[in-house]
């Protein structure tokens, strides 16, 4: 693609000692866009992105050596004279603008539904997509579980992919004639301009609590909140959980039409009544319709309301939504594992902070014991360790502390920090595979055993390497 087309809409200056005055940007062809120098080849355009641990400017020479002859950067670099440097004040924005141009603006060819919040983004996105797809409104998802299309799932590294990947996925969906894409919008995605250039038809707020605060993430809860709020100035319509303590701030941040929902009986656009749990179902009524979800927790009903309200705004009646959600399944969210040990309930859930752990465990009513197996990520969000321990201590009869993406931090250090705050009996087994084996082998009739933290993930992050790890398969294997 011509360089002048790629740079359309971007504010920039040119730095190049050998750039001939008679040569125009229209005469330069670019074969590939990359922000990882190892992916460059002849005639690539390389964008220098400053990350939490790595600065892309340090890899500009490597990109050049691999064939890149256009470098987008925030400062002048010492590169050969035949390398054209495009200076931008913000290369994250530059990457988004260039990516949108590279894929010929796919965001204009598909309707976007953005979801943000501390918890519930994935469940809510799957609920919306389920209702829309069941109503023949072809819908895809970009989020924590990857890119979910009707017939396949494409794995991704982040809840919200980088802008180059994000626009690429939207282009794929546009080519396959999807009508909608539901995007889980993380605070980091907003902070680092991964969604720059996108405009959402609908934006959903689920809830807010302190998370992702620490080195390499957010400096404070206030910063975390402010980035979340920005989504609601980028949409035509806001759908807000009015039960949340911060809902007023999010409604005030909304610039489009406003709709609200509640499970606490508050006056709003849509509310649920008569909520109660029975077995592994949560019953509720909405708009005079009696229905249920195949999962526990009032928070699950709250997520369902968001999806129903969004669908209603797309002319899908509430009764259609409630019927669709009776068999909703969300990967790694209150996932009951089917095993020959029918008198023991094994549940996989992504609960990985104190609030989500408390909501999960408080909804469970074991006939015998509630056993909770969990750990916490290494190298960041250390505050979660105390919160998880306190939540588990409040509801569990016994805890098994183990690894959960320890990365470069010694697992025994993480486990010891969690154990410091536990007030119930526990055992530490740092090898998660052995911990799962112990949990299954020592379970008794009537027990509920919760495997928290991994959820949908099929890996363990150890020393920067994602090692294959399938929790569901391990549970089934040990229970056979």
Q: CA of 76: how far to CAs of 17, 60, 201, 222, in Å? A: 11, 11, 39, 34
> What's the pLDDT score for residue 153?
92
> What's the pLDDT score for residue 8?
95
CA neighbor of 202 nearest in space, from 303, 113, 108, 130: 113
> What's the pLDDT score for residue 158?
80
Count other Cβ atoms within 10 Å, centred on residue 221: 14
Set out the domains of the chain in order of their start, with CATH numbers.
Answer: 3-102 (3.40.1390.10), 106-327 (3.40.1190.10), 335-479 (3.90.190.20)
Whose structure tokens read 């090898």? 431
> Which band of pLDDT confidence, cut at 50, 70 and 90, is reported for residue 17?
low
Q: CA of 395: how far to CAs of 55, 350, 391, in Å? A: 44, 17, 7
Q: At what angle do helices 383-395 and 411-419 cross, to 10 degrees?
A: 50
User: Does the structure show a pLDDT above 80 at 324?
Assistant: yes
> Which band of pLDDT confidence, cut at 50, 70 and 90, is reported for residue 219?
confident
DSSP 8-state secondary structure symbol assigned to residue 213: B
Query: Coil, helix or strand for 292?
Result: strand
DSSP 8-state secondary structure symbol assigned to residue 218: B
Half-sphere exposure of 48 (CA within 13 A, CB side): 23
The Cα 391–Cα 421 span in angstroms is 10
The Cα 4–Cα 26 span in angstroms is 5
Average pLDDT, stretch 124-142?
A: 97
Average pLDDT, the chain: 93
User: Does the structure show a pLDDT above 90 at 213?
Assistant: no
Average pLDDT, stretch 356-373?
A: 92
> Which band of pLDDT confidence, cut at 50, 70 and 90, is reported for residue 76?
very high
Q: What φ, ψ does residue 4 adopt, rounded to 5°?
A: -65, -30
> What's the pLDDT score for residue 217?
72
> Which band of pLDDT confidence, cut at 50, 70 and 90, is reported for residue 381?
confident
> What's the pLDDT score for residue 111?
98
Q: What φ, ψ does residue 277 adopt, rounded to 5°?
A: -105, 145
Average pLDDT, stretch 341-355?
A: 91
Q: For the segment 163-206, what is each residue's pLDDT rounded down to a tens digit?
A: 999 999 999 999 999 999 999 999 989 999 999 999 999 999 99
Angle at 161 between CA 160 and CA 166, to 5 degrees: 110
Token digits for 186? 């993380």
User: Does the structure show a pLDDT above 80 at 137?
Assistant: yes
Angle at 363 between CA 208 and CA 120, to 5 degrees: 30
Q: Quick one: what percent of the chain has pLDDT higher than 70? A: 97
The Cα 125–Cα 116 span in angstroms is 10
Whose structure tokens read 């104190």? 354
The Cα 452–Cα 351 span in angstroms is 5
What is the torsional sign of CA 473, 478, 479, 480? positive
> What's the pLDDT score for residue 22?
44
> What's the pLDDT score for residue 272?
97
What is the torsional sign of CA 380, 385, 391, 397? positive
> What's the pLDDT score for residue 180?
98
Q: Got the DSSP string for 176-211?
A: TT-SEEEEE--HHHHHTTTTTT--EEEEEE----S-
Average pLDDT, stretch 21-34?
A: 81
Q: Got the DSSP string for 141-153?
A: EEETTEEE-SS-E
Average pLDDT, stretch 230-259?
A: 97
Token digits for 421? 């705050």
**Of 231 and 15, which is predicted with more confidence?**
231
The Cα 260–Cα 225 span in angstroms is 19
């Amino acid at each position: 693609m011509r360089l002048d087309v790629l740079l359309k809409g971007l504010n920039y200056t040119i730095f190049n000692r050998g750039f001939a005055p008679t040569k125009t940007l229209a005469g330069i062809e670019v074969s590939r866009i990359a922000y990882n120098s190892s992916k460059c080849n002849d005639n690539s355009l390389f964008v220098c992105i400053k990350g939490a641990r790595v600065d892309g400017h340090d890899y500009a020479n490597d990109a050049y050596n691999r064939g890149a002859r256009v470098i987008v950067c925030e400062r002048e670099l010492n590169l050969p004279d035949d390398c054209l440097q495009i200076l931008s004040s913000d290369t994250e924005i530059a990457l988004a603008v260039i990516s949108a141009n590279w894929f010929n603006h796919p965001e204009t060819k598909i309707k976007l539904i953005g979801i943000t919040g501390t918890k519930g983004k994935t469940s809510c996105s799957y609920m919306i997509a389920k209702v829309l797809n069941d109503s023949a409104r072809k819908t895809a998802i970009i989020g924590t579980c990857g890119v979910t299309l009707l017939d396949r799932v494409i794995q991704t590294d982040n809840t919200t992919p980088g802008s180059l990947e994000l626009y690429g996925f939207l282009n794929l969906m546009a080519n396959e004639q999807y009508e909608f894409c539901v995007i889980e919008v993380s605070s980091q995605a907003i902070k680092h301009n991964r969604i720059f250039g996108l405009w959402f038809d609908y934006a959903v707020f689920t809830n807010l609590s302190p998370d992702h605060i620490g080195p390499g993430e957010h400096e404070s809860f206030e910063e975390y909140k402010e980035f979340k709020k920005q989504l609601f100035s980028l949409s035509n319509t806001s759908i807000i959980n009015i039960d949340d303590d911060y809902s007023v701030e999010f409604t005030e941040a909304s610039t489009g039409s406003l709709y609200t929902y509640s499970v606490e009986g508050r006056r709003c656009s849509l509310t649920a009544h008569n909520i109660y749990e029975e077995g592994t179902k949560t019953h509720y009524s909405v708009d005079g319709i009696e229905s249920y979800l195949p999962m526990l927790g009032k928070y699950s009903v709250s997520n369902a309301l968001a999806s129903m309200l969004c669908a209603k705004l797309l002319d899908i009646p509430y009764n259609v939504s409630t019927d669709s959600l009776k068999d909703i399944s969300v990967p790694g969210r209150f996932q009951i594992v089917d095993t020959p040990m029918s008198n023991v309930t094994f549940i996989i859930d992504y609960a990985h902070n104190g609030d989500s752990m408390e909501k999960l465990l408080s909804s469970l009513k074991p006939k015998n014991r509630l056993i909770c197996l969990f750990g916490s990520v290494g190298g960041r969000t250390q505050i979660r360790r105390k919160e998880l321990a306190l939540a588990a201590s409040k509801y569990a009869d016994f805890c098994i502390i183990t690894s959960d993406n320890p990365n470069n931090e010694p697992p025994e250090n993480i486990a010891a920090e969690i154990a410091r705050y536990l007030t119930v009996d526990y055992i530490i087994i740092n090898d998660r595979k052995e911990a799962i084996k112990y949990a299954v082998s020592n379970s008794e009739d009537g027990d509920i055993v919760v495997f928290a933290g991994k959820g949908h993930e099929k890996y363990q992050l150890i020393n920067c390497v994602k090692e294959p790890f399938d929790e569901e398969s391990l549970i089934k294997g040990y229970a056979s």
